[in-house]
Amino acid sequence: MSRAEMDALGWDSCDIIIVTGDAYVDHPSFGMAVIGRLLEAQGFRVGIIAQPDWTSTADFEALGAPNLFFGVAAGNMDSMINRYTADKKRRNDDAYTPGNTGDKRPDRAVIVYSQRLREAYRQVPLVIGSIEASLRRIAHYDYWSDKVRRSILIDSSADLLLYGNAERAIVALAHRLAAGEPIHTIRDLRGTAFVRKRIPDDWRVIDSTSIDVVGPVTEPTNPYVDTATAQCETKVTEADAAEPVRLIGNVADEDAQAVIRIPAYEQVRGDPALYAHASRVLHKETNPHNARPLVQAHGDRELWLNAPPIPLETDELDQVFELPYTRLPHSTYGDARIVAYEMIRHSVNIMRGCFGGCTFCSITEHEGRIIQNRSEDSIIREIEQIRDTSPAFTGVISDLGGPTANMWRLACNSREVEAKCRKLSCVFPGICKNLNTDQKPLVNLYRRARDVQGVKKVLIASGLRYDLAVQTPEYVEELVTHHVGGYLKIAPEHTEDGPLSKMMKPGIGSYEQFKAMFEKYSRAAGKKQYLIPYFIAAHPGTSDRDMVQLALWLKSNKYRADQVQTFYPSPMASATAMYHSGKNPLKRVTYKSDSMPTVKGLSQRRLHKAFLRYHDPDNWPVLRQALKKMGRADLIGSGAKHLVPARQPAKQHPVVPPGTRPFATQHNGVVKVPGRQKGASKR
């Protein structure tokens, strides 16, 4: 991180320098640490420039010019999500910054850092990555400017974009550059995007609008289902019923040299239906075993996206997580608190990826839907390392999970089906019959982790897929008996089928089934434990009446949320395409497709939040007004079936009525339910 450290190591220069928007924490939960250690293991000298002052080039010149390339990352979060709330208000804090201050990174950090590097070292190859680059790799709707922006590769003027978990690509790139290959000739790496002037003559171009027609047609077709494969899910969904199936070839044969052209930036910028169509096509081309490259014109330039990276095998993932991390923040930070580090320093990541496909979530777009698993032995070795090296370890492993808590070792039962499948979710609208849902291996892992000498408690804090959990009652019993610290957070997100279908989340019945099992096993263990259900307000597809029903459900179950989450349109998510276009990209998009309700106005977004906090007297005036307007004045009153009282009380501290379920903490009789921590959410 400094010239002094380079001198101490005897380095005259670095081979690769990584610029990041996060503080440098040498822990496998921080992306720059993973890439840095991985490249170090390959024999390269790596420098880190963490949270530089972006108002000049001075900090960017601190380590000199690298021999191979600069790598630019915004950090573990998109910089705009890191810096702004869902209401577009500036945050004053930053969990990835020493001292938790909110002024150490710029808006659109990848672009700004790239600009400074181009000013200082115009001829040095520049590579961008991290989740910010990954989710902005094509023309994308930007919530903060309320417009469609160009690919971040264009705006940053970088030479290459690496998306997803880029271990394979970054290692191959470094070795090829070290061998003298110019970066502008490296065009075959999976998981990369680059700009070219024209499509090579030996590639066959498929117009995406010809295979997924945008507009009225007599016989709409779905090019994303191969009828030659084994059946993946027999249940006919609303989307499938409207789309007769036709057979297309696999990538392995006639499409091996085919690239799909999605509508140009100039087209999607002005046509919401085309934007939704482009989003749909991109998401259908994310299975690394059958995905074809995509191309999108930006003016007279062609943005080219290679197919996604092949997932790491177990032994490869083990190697990544067992690199010689110190698991500590860099010494230059002294005793300054880094909140994100404190939250995960005693946690262990056991897997990557998610096949849930939640439309508001960025995991699938970034990590993919094929689960990458660590071995049981590797996980236990990391627990032992924490025990032996962390001076702050008290015997509690704070989490044993990942993007989800209980997808470890779950996969399609058929490699052939998995290689051809284009479904966006393995668990929606129901669990695919080809999905292995046996979580007994995870039970064995939990037991082995608990038996590690010096470990007193192993908690599970990652998001739990309760619809999967109930498939293995033994898993639920093990979880509830030994791994819940009084409260377990899960996310049904809503109760009504309309918004749930747009989220691709299971119905509330799955939650009720899990809740019954949770309470049963808690009683059997002699423990008082509570579920903390999370819900999203203002998600696309949600009407005011849906929020009324959710509020009534909360009241009937005696739940009172202290803080709630409002839908946050992150770049490239399917739900963001819904928000921007008013169309549903989970089905074929046409100009005549029914428009779906989207909550955009600040007043309506606040109303939806108010329904989730129906018990707060400050919300009663707006709720009474809305209920009258909706013709639901019958819900105004003081009875058990009413939602809000008719009169406004004098200002006083709220008191918990008898029988209200305390599902967080109590202080002086007031129930407080913690909201999702910034930086902690897996979404």
Identify the CA nearest to 211 among candidates 245, 240, 242.
245
User: Residue 235: its pLDDT value, please?
Assistant: 40
- Give me 200's structure tokens: 């090579």
Local confidence band at 220 (pLDDT 50, 70, 90 cut-offs): very low
Alpha-helical segments (H) within 157-302:
167-178, 208-211, 238-241, 265-270, 272-284
Rounded Cα distance, 472 and 523, in Å: 19
Q: Which residue has the tokens 């608190």?
A: 337
Asked if residue 14 lies in contact with residue 47, where contact means CB atoms within 8 angstroms, the answer is: yes
User: Residue 654: its pLDDT value, please?
Assistant: 55
> Hey, what's the torsion of the CAs at 605, 611, 615, 619, to 10 degrees?
40
Residue 310 burial (CB count, 10 A): 13
Rounded to the nearest angstrom, the gap between the alpha carbon of residue 449 and the centroid of all alpha carbons in its chain is 27
Strand pairing partners for 141?
A: 148
Residue predicted with more confidence, 245 or 540: 540
Residue 503 has pLDDT above 50, yes or no: yes
Residue 245 has pLDDT above 50, yes or no: no
The mean pLDDT of 452-467, rounded to a whole number, is 96
Residue 487 has pLDDT above 80, yes or no: yes
Q: Give every CB contact of residue 675 below 8 A, 6+ residues apart in sequence.
A: 562, 563, 564, 565
Residue 557 has pLDDT above 70, yes or no: yes
User: Residue 105: its pLDDT value, please?
Assistant: 97
Q: What CATH architecture does domain 346-483 belong to?
A: 2-Layer Sandwich (3.30)
Mean per-residue pLDDT of the chain? 90
User: Residue 132: its pLDDT value, please?
Assistant: 98
Residue 215 has pLDDT above 70, yes or no: no
Local confidence band at 652 (pLDDT 50, 70, 90 cut-offs): low
Rounded Cα distance, 343 and 47, in Å: 26
Residue 673 has pLDDT above 70, yes or no: no
Residue 273 has pLDDT above 90, yes or no: yes
The mean pLDDT of 148-158, rounded to a whole number, is 98
Q: Residue 479 carries which DSSP code?
A: H
Identify the CA nearest to 262 among candidates 253, 251, 271, 250.
271
Residue 466 has pLDDT above 60, yes or no: yes
| Mutual angle of helices 544-556 and 602-612, in 10-degree steps | 20
Least confident window among 115-119, 160-164, 237-241, 398-402 = 237-241
Give pLDDT tens digits for 380-439. Answer: 999 999 999 999 999 999 999 999 999 999 999 999 999 999 999 999 999 999 999 999
Residue 254 has pLDDT above 80, yes or no: no
The mean pLDDT of 519-524, rounded to a whole number, is 98
The fraction of the chain above a pLDDT of 70, given in percent, is 89
The fraction of the chain above a pLDDT of 90, given in percent, is 84
Identify the CA nearest to 125 among candidates 76, 80, 186.
186
Identify the CA nearest to 644 among candidates 661, 621, 660, 662.
621
The amino acid that residue 406 corresponds to is N
Identify the CA nearest to 3 among candidates 70, 48, 57.
48
Residue 583 has pLDDT above 50, yes or no: yes
Give pLDDT tens digits for 126-136. Answer: 999 999 999 99
Instruction: Count the alpha carbons within 13 Å of 363 in the hemisphere toward its beta carbon.
Output: 22
Backbone angles phi, psi at 156, to 5 degrees: -90, -15
Rounded Cα distance, 171 and 42, in Å: 8
The mean pLDDT of 596-606, rounded to a whole number, is 92
What kind and span of H or E run contains 341? helix 339-344
User: Residue 213: its pLDDT value, please?
Assistant: 73
Phi/psi zone of residue 488: left (φ > 0), alpha (ψ -120 to 50 degrees), beta? beta
Residue 501 has pLDDT above 60, yes or no: yes
Asked if residue 148 lies in contact with residue 16, where contact means CB atoms within 8 angstroms, the answer is: no
Most trustworthy range by pLDDT among 238-247, 499-508, 560-569: 499-508
Residue 651 has pLDDT above 50, yes or no: yes
User: Residue 662: its pLDDT value, please?
Assistant: 44
Give pLDDT tens digits for 225-237. Answer: 443 334 444 343 4
User: Residue 655: its pLDDT value, please?
Assistant: 55
Residue 331 has pLDDT above 70, yes or no: yes
Asked if residue 413 lies in contact with residue 575, where contact means CB atoms within 8 angstroms, the answer is: no
User: Residue 365: its pLDDT value, please?
Assistant: 87
The amino acid that residue 318 corresponds to is D
Domain ranges of the chain: 3-196, 204-299, 346-483, 487-568+577-683
Q: What CATH architecture does domain 487-568+577-683 belong to?
A: 2-Layer Sandwich (3.30)
The mean pLDDT of 575-600, rounded to a whole number, is 92
Quick check: helix, strand or coil at residue 193?
strand
The reply to whether 346-483 shares the fold of 3-196 is no
Residue 609 has pLDDT above 50, yes or no: yes
**pTM, whole model, 2 decimals?**
0.90
Rounded Cα distance, 400 and 25, in Å: 20
Backbone angles phi, psi at 161, to 5 degrees: -115, 130
Residue 266 has pLDDT above 80, yes or no: yes
What kind and span of H or E run contains 118? helix 109-120
> Is the CA virtual torsion 538, 539, 543, 547 positive or negative?
negative
**Record: fold of 3-196:** Rossmann fold (3.40.50)
Rounded Cα distance, 23 and 1, in Å: 11
For the chain, the farthest-separated pair of C-alpha atoms sits apart, in whole angstroms, at: 78
